[in-house]
Structure 1
Amino acid sequence: MTDTAIQTRRREIATEHLLFKLIEYVEGQHPGLLDTLEQSLDHLGDPADDDSKDDEAVRQIARRMIAGARAETGGGAKR
């Protein structure tokens, strides 16, 4: 694995952790954030312009992240 790939992986792990903590905090203060994020997924897509482009795969990752955040925050509202 190249140094660039290692740094990219480490940044992704750190960013994901901080994002989850931010989501947990905001959802705790203002319930409904997770619902809003979930409702926005239709607009999420993969910006690749080659054969690796897969909008649904990106959305599925986001759905798993939201589900994980719901589990951490006690379920969220899920309207």
Structure 2
Amino acid sequence: MTDDTATRTRQREIASEHLLFKLIEYVEARHPGLLDFLDASLDHLGDPAHDATKDDEGVRDIARRMIVGARKQGTS
């Protein structure tokens, strides 16, 4: 991966995460329960890798932290 590719990938990840958080915040404000629904779905989340980098719990941990962050943002 070139430096430019890594930079663009990081920028897309940051932008996607921001938009996702804003979408979650918007929906949760209008339809409370979304965050609980997402939290309950994490047992089904996994890492699709087929090599030594596969880490299902690592993926779930990131999702949990995102939900915690969204809950905190929603109370601000």
Shorter-chain TM range is: over 0.9
The corresponding residue for 2:3 is 2
CA distance in 2, matches of 1:50, 1:3: 25
Q: CA deviation at 1:74?
A: 1.7
Normalising by structure 1, report the TM-score: 0.92
Q: CA deviation at 1:3?
A: 0.7
5+ long unaligned stretches in structure 1: none
CA distance in 2, matches of 1:3, 1:43: 34
| One-letter amino acid matched to 2:38 | L
CA distance in 2, matches of 1:7, 1:73: 29
The corresponding residue for 1:20 is 21
5+ long unaligned stretches in structure 2: none
Q: How does 1:1-79 map to 2 (within 5 A)?
A: 2-74=3-75
Q: Deviations over 1:29-63 (max 9, x none)?
A: 00000000000000000000000000000000000
Aligned length: 75
CA distance in 2, matches of 1:45, 1:8: 21
More helix by share: 2
**Hey, which bits of structure 1, 4+ residues long, moved more than 4 A?**
none
What fraction of aligned residue pairs are identical, expressed as a percent? Answer: 71
